[in-house]
Amino acid sequence: MNASQADDLIAAVKAQTAAQLEQAAAINRLAESNQALVNVLVSYVEEPEEEINTLSVYLNGQPQESTINQIKDAAQKAAEAGYLSVARGINSGRR
């Protein structure tokens, strides 16, 4: 590499560094703006919304094993507490 190529490379690296510093500053401004927006939105919410009860399902719509286990556990506890009026086997579900 000759001196001219080295000087060109140094100039290109300096330009790249300057551009990256500008980009980092822009990203920081965006993050601060996003945080300010979140703060505004949170200030408008008077009461926290109730947690939405969601089920973990596979793409085909079938519940995941962990979801099935949670449902079984909840049904067992409800049965033991007397909340279920019809006694059914936990594992006798239809498919």
Task: Assess whether 39 and 62 both reside in one domain.
Answer: no
Q: Is 19 helix (H, G, I), strand (E, B) or coil?
A: helix
Task: Assess whether 10 and 43 both reside in one domain.
Answer: yes
Q: Residue 34 has which token pair?
A: 């996003």
- Domain count for the chain, please give it: 2
Give the pLDDT of residue 2: 93
Count of Cβ atoms closer than 10 Å to residue 79 Cβ: 14
Task: Assess whether 23 and 3 both reside in one domain.
Answer: yes
Residue 57's beta-bridge partner residues? 63
Give the pLDDT of residue 11: 95
Give the pLDDT of residue 86: 56
Task: Assess whether 26 and 65 both reside in one domain.
Answer: no
**Which residue in this structure is represented by tokens 């596979």?**
58
Task: Assess whether 67 and 45 both reside in one domain.
Answer: no
Task: Assess whether 43 and 59 both reside in one domain.
Answer: no
Q: What is the pTM of this model?
A: 0.43
Per-residue pLDDT of the chain (95 residues; tens, 9 = 90+): 899 999 999 999 999 999 999 999 999 999 999 898 888 887 777 666 666 666 666 777 777 787 788 888 888 888 888 777 655 555 555 44
- Residues constituting the chain: 95
Q: Residue 9 has which token pair?
A: 């490379």
Its domain, for residue 74, covers: 54-95
Give the pLDDT of residue 95: 45
